[in-house]
A and B are shown apart, each in its own frame.
Chain A
Amino acid sequence: MKSQYQNRIELLQGTLDLLILQTLLWGPQHGYGISQVIRTQSGEVLQVDTGSLYPALHRLEKQKWIKSEWKLTEKNQEAKFYQLTAAGRKQLAEERSRWEQLSDAIGAVLKNPVIG
């Protein structure tokens, strides 16, 4: 329990948006599904708090980067599915490149040997 708590990484502000958009790149998904995908794909490290997830989904929808629709799941359950819009794809591309720049930059700093 303790180790699991320590392994969890708090999501940087804005990264949740990136993860949600990325998840939806594979097709429409509902809130529960998105949180499951992020958790399993991060090797159980990233736990998405519903108190952050749903506000983020509703904010992204308001920004017209995603849209929603009620559909039936494979298990015949009603659920609200979110899917990327064209604007959302563009946003995802931008956020990804920004993230990669940031990650490369941090990586470069960390990899440099300490001199002197």
Chain B
Amino acid sequence: MDSRKNDDLDAEIQSHLRMAAQDKLAAGQSPRDARDAALREFGNVGVVKEVTRGMWSWASLESFLQDIRYGLRTLIRTPGFAAVAILTLALGIGANTAVFSVVNGVLLNPLPFRNADRLMVLFHERPNFSEGSVSYLNFLDWQRENHSFEAMAAYGSNPFSITGVGEPENVHGQMISSTFFPIFGINPLLGRNFSADEDQLGANPTLMISEGLWKRKFGSDPGIIGKRLIVNAVGRTIVGVIPAGFRLRIWNFHPGDIYVPIGEFSDPRFRERSWASGQDAVGLLKRGVTLEQARQDMARVNRGLAAAYPDADAGIKARVVPLKEHIVGELRPVLLVLLGAVAFVLLISCVNVANLLLARSNSRHREFAIRIALGAGQHRIVRQLLTESVLLALVGGVLGIILAKWGTAAAIAAVPRSLPRAEGIGLDFHVLLYTFGISVIAGIVFGLAPAWKTSHSQIESTLKKAGRTFAGARGRAQGAFVIAEMALALVLLIGSGLMIRTLFHLWRVDPGFNPHNILTFEISPSPSLTTESPDAIRAAFRQFHATIRSVPGVEVASFDWGAHPMQSDSEQSFWVQGQAKPEHSVDLPMALAYVIEPEYLPVMRIPLKSGRFLNPNDSDHSPFVVVIDEDFAAQYFPGKNPIGQHIVTTRLEEIVGVVGHVNQFGLDQDAVNPLHAQVYESIYQQGDEVMPGIARVADVFVRTRPGIDSASVFPAIHHALNRVDAGMVVFDPENMDQTVADSIAQKRFSMTLLGVFAALALLLASIGIYDVLSYLVGQRTQEIGVRMALGAQRADVLRLIMNDGARMALLGIGVGIVAALGLTHLMTSMLFGVRPTDPLTFGAVTIVLAVIALLACYVPAHRAMRVDPTVALRYE
């Protein structure tokens, strides 16, 4: 249709010209003169056609399409410009898309559960722990007495070994309340959830299994319900199969292969009100109940408990945290800082492209001046220019999505463990919408300045002076661009500088032990061992120890049943003999408890400060001894020698030695964690009642000989242990180096991303300042020529241009420092050992940026210096 209209317009104009020529012919002109005169009178045929065409699609989609076509033609005519602009934008938009896809997947998307916004995690809150485990008896009272939850569920993890079907194996499992899966809206694939009756002490032993175990162990047997499986030596009836789609990772819970009712757990300590270790709780708020109401309700319940059971519950509060907050809350400030940082990168991209457009608009000045003179409205010109820039941004956006897809995958792969919900990250509809949105906004932002400038240029003077007069105004605009770019780049560089300093500080933190060449893993001996006598269990562990030590490459080894540095903690309450015992057991001081063997010290290479460490003579037949760390000594025996003093736990223990403090909570967290005191007890001096627990599962720490990779000895150890105990499960091998590295993975992730963004910003800003200065030098060629003709030296010219560039760069740096001072405090939670206004970082980054800016100025300045005055003067 359009081409027919075009032909029609062509014919119309041709007929006009013919008629005009004919009239002139009739007036006596020669045919040739007549045709020329007609053409002259008519004016520019092409322009008339174009403005006429503008009327066809007056303020309609057609004119939009026309703008797009025109824009595309313009871009194709200048492929170099288009490529640079699109690539610049693709980098900016791609980086933003990648970060947003992480923010979207982690922070914005709802959790994949029904009623996700009403799901809460519940903790015991006490002075030392804001988020501690909940004792089961307290949980039952919470469940009974609260008015704000539709349902509550307790859970705890436990290793399970299953026998009776195929090979015996150890699987991860959870003990759960019967309300657990209904709270999360999970329906079993087969069978049913536990009933309340099954969740009671003495109930008929039942079991739910995962879809994975059902497929692997039972070949997806549809008749699985009602069959029996032997778990930890107890026969249990399978009542349901949990679908594999159930994914939940919270404190002390991750999906396992086996679920058993927590209410029938018969360990006597589990029924002690002060025993809050390893079981936690979740709840589903009633509809319409706010978080604040729930918190107040739980505070009321807990006041009642504190009054009824002061010994166990005085001072304990209930802490209610939304599930999503619990999972991703810590990550929110980090991701928002990254999102802000990457927005800066996009801004710099926009400034660079605006710059390019401005320089290019010089050559298009006459084009637009003519169109305006012919009656095209200014808004029409602005729209044309904006269409072109949005078009550029959209093409950049598409390319950016491709970069983002690749970039996100690379980022997640780099630090897999530091990101919860990493599985939900991807390019979904929201991300694409976001990318489209920022592309359009970016297009308008970088298109607006050049469009405004071009359309407001005075038409007559442009036509008369060929655009010369605008060099000044445009020079100012570009100067502002350089200043903005420098400022943005500086803020990003300072942010990444602070992260780098943070990581340096973290790497310098002494963990208190030597993590190199340490292998850790877990063992779960044959279930039958748990039913043996405590002495038999002790003997078995001595045998296991000897077995591990006999493996070539192993230097020393130790079991650990208790806290595991940088992985899991375990506490022991105590009081110092000779000091007043607190009235309530809940007020007893706490220490991190490591239940280990004498070789733990050489395995970890923890320094012995005074006295002695545990030794093989410390047995169940000798006096109970304990070794404390230096922080314990400083806190409870200030200025005194703790050796020979006694502490009371469940029994009287003599302090025989002091060792160095070990970093328990991670390189960045240990200093801020209020719990510092540490105690070491021998695994062989544990009470008889504890031994079955140790026999169920224990950690093993192994130091390999120098030069032997710690991971390489695991298969041999595994094999050797199975020769001693064929039913033993040996699992979760890990390098201690890796464990330490993981404790700062999130900070490393932030540093890597901020570093990448800062490098990108620096690159783009350098290109920007180089472009602008080159352009300005080009504009001033004539002036330079005059100056040189009048006797200016080359060095003077160099100084002149460098001064110009340096002034812009320094102004930008100044603005950037002020902005950074205002912004870096947002990073406070991400930093370690360095203040957000760290003068060293600010100083170093300023110098680096200034040097790079001056280098970017030097090239065009050097070119200006080489200007030949005679050529320059002929330039006009």
Q: A residues touching B (Cβ–Cβ < 8 Å)?
A: 30-33, 36, 49-52, 54-59, 62, 70, 73, 75, 77-80
Nearest chain A CB to B26's CB is how many angstroms away? 9
Q: Does B578 contact A (CB under 8 A)?
A: no
Known: A52-B375, A55-B375, A75-B22. A31 touches B16 (CB 8 A): yes
Smallest CB-CB separation from B44: which chain A residue?
A: A51
- Do the beta carbons of B55 and A51 come within 8 Å of each other? no
- Do the beta carbons of B375 and A50 come within 8 Å of each other? no
Q: Does B72 contact A (CB under 8 A)?
A: no
- Do the beta carbons of A59 and B19 come within 8 Å of each other? no
- Do the beta carbons of A55 and B16 come within 8 Å of each other? no
Among candidates B23, B56, B374, residue contacting A51 with C-beta atoms closer than 8 Å: B374
- Do the beta carbons of A55 and B19 come within 8 Å of each other? no
Among candidates A58, A59, A79, residue contacting B15 with C-beta atoms closer than 8 Å: A79
Nearest chain A CB to B354's CB is how many angstroms away? 32
Which of chain B's residues 46-104 have a Cβ closer than 8 Å to chain A?
A: 47-48, 51-52, 54-56, 58
Which of chain B's residues 5-21 have a Cβ closer than 8 Å to chain A?
A: 8-9, 11-13, 15-16, 18-20
CB-CB under 8 A from B51, the residues of chain A are 51, 54-55
- Do the beta carbons of B16 and A32 come within 8 Å of each other? yes
Q: How far does the alpha carbon of A49 sit from the alpha carbon of B43 in the complex, in Å?
A: 8
Tell me which of B11, B16, B20, B374 has the highest count of chain A C-beta atoms within 10 A of its own C-beta: B16
- Do the beta carbons of A51 and B375 come within 8 Å of each other? yes
Nearest chain A CB to B592's CB is how many angstroms away? 83
Among candidates B13, B18, B42, residue contacting A77 with C-beta atoms closer than 8 Å: B18
Known: A31-B12, A50-B42, A50-B48. A58 touches B19 (CB 8 A): no
- Do the beta carbons of A59 and B375 come within 8 Å of each other? no
Smallest CB-CB separation from A59: which chain B residue?
A: B55
9 smallest beta-carbon distances between A and B, as pairs: A58-B55, A54-B52, A59-B55, A32-B16, A32-B19, A79-B15, A51-B374, A80-B12, A55-B55
Q: How far does the alpha carbon of A54 sit from the alpha carbon of B44 in the complex, in Å?
A: 13
CB-CB under 8 A from A52, the residues of chain B are 374-375
Known: A49-B43, A50-B16. A80 touches B55 (CB 8 A): no
Nearest chain A CB to B754's CB is how many angstroms away? 54
Nearest chain A CB to B170's CB is how many angstroms away? 80
CB-defined A-B contacts under 8 Å, sample of 20: A30-B12, A32-B20, A36-B23, A50-B16, A50-B42, A51-B48, A52-B375, A54-B48, A54-B52, A55-B55, A57-B52, A62-B56, A73-B19, A75-B19, A77-B18, A77-B22, A78-B11, A79-B19, A80-B12, A80-B15
CB-CB under 8 A from A31, the residues of chain B are 12, 16
Smallest CB-CB separation from B42: which chain A residue?
A: A50
CB-CB under 8 A from B19, the residues of chain A are 30, 32-33, 73, 75, 77, 79
Smallest CB-CB separation from B20: which chain A residue?
A: A32
CB-CB under 8 A from B12, the residues of chain A are 30-31, 54, 79-80
Nearest chain B CB to A45's CB is how many angstroms away? 16
- Do the beta carbons of A51 and B47 come within 8 Å of each other? yes
Q: B residues touching A (Cβ–Cβ < 8 Å)?
A: 8-9, 11-13, 15-16, 18-20, 22-23, 42-44, 47-48, 51-52, 54-56, 58, 374-375
CB-CB under 8 A from A79, the residues of chain B are 12, 15-16, 19
CB-CB under 8 A from B55, the residues of chain A are 55-56, 58-59, 62
Q: How far does the alpha carbon of A32 sit from the alpha carbon of B19 in the complex, in Å?
A: 7
- Do the beta carbons of A30 and B43 come within 8 Å of each other? no
CB-CB under 8 A from B47, the residues of chain A are 51
Among candidates B15, B42, B48, residue contacting A78 with C-beta atoms closer than 8 Å: B15
- Do the beta carbons of A55 and B54 come within 8 Å of each other? yes
Q: How far does the alpha carbon of A57 sit from the alpha carbon of B44 in the complex, in Å?
A: 18
Q: How far does the alpha carbon of A36 sit from the alpha carbon of B42 in the complex, in Å?
A: 12
Nearest chain A CB to B710's CB is how many angstroms away? 81
Q: How far does the alpha carbon of A92 sit from the alpha carbon of B104 in the complex, in Å?
A: 59
Q: How far does the alpha carbon of A57 sit from the alpha carbon of B43 in the complex, in Å?
A: 17
CB-CB under 8 A from B54, the residues of chain A are 55
CB-CB under 8 A from B58, the residues of chain A are 59, 62
Nearest chain B CB to A51's CB is how many angstroms away? 5
- Do the beta carbons of B52 and A58 come within 8 Å of each other? yes
CB-CB under 8 A from B42, the residues of chain A are 50
CB-CB under 8 A from B56, the residues of chain A are 58, 62
- Do the beta carbons of B15 and A50 come within 8 Å of each other? no
Smallest CB-CB separation from B5: which chain A residue?
A: A58
Smallest CB-CB separation from A35: which chain B residue?
A: B16
Smallest CB-CB separation from B54: which chain A residue?
A: A55
Among candidates A30, A51, A59, A62, residue contacting B16 with C-beta atoms closer than 8 Å: A30
CB-CB under 8 A from A77, the residues of chain B are 15, 18-19, 22
**5 new A-B contacts at CB < 8 Å, known A51-B43, A51-B48, A54-B51:** A32-B19, A54-B9, A78-B15, A79-B16, A80-B8
Smallest CB-CB separation from B375: which chain A residue?
A: A52
- Do the beta carbons of B48 and A30 come within 8 Å of each other? no
CB-CB under 8 A from A50, the residues of chain B are 16, 42-43, 48
- Do the beta carbons of B11 and A80 come within 8 Å of each other? yes
Nearest chain B CB to A28's CB is how many angstroms away? 14
Q: How far does the alpha carbon of A2 sit from the alpha carbon of B54 in the complex, in Å?
A: 33
CB-CB under 8 A from A32, the residues of chain B are 15-16, 19-20
Smallest CB-CB separation from B16: which chain A residue?
A: A32
CB-CB under 8 A from A49, the residues of chain B are 43
CB-CB under 8 A from A70, the residues of chain B are 11
Nearest chain B CB to A66's CB is how many angstroms away? 12
Nearest chain B CB to A78's CB is how many angstroms away? 6
CB-CB under 8 A from A59, the residues of chain B are 55, 58
Q: How far does the alpha carbon of A80 sit from the alpha carbon of B44 in the complex, in Å?
A: 20
Tell me which of B15, B54, B374 has the highest count of chain A C-beta atoms within 10 A of its own C-beta: B15
CB-CB under 8 A from A55, the residues of chain B are 51-52, 54-55, 375
Q: How far does the alpha carbon of A58 sit from the alpha carbon of B47 in the complex, in Å?
A: 15
Nearest chain B CB to A42's CB is how many angstroms away? 16
CB-CB under 8 A from A56, the residues of chain B are 55
Q: How far does the alpha carbon of A77 sit from the alpha carbon of B16 in the complex, in Å?
A: 10
Smallest CB-CB separation from B26: which chain A residue?
A: A75
CB-CB under 8 A from B43, the residues of chain A are 49-51
CB-CB under 8 A from B375, the residues of chain A are 51-52, 55
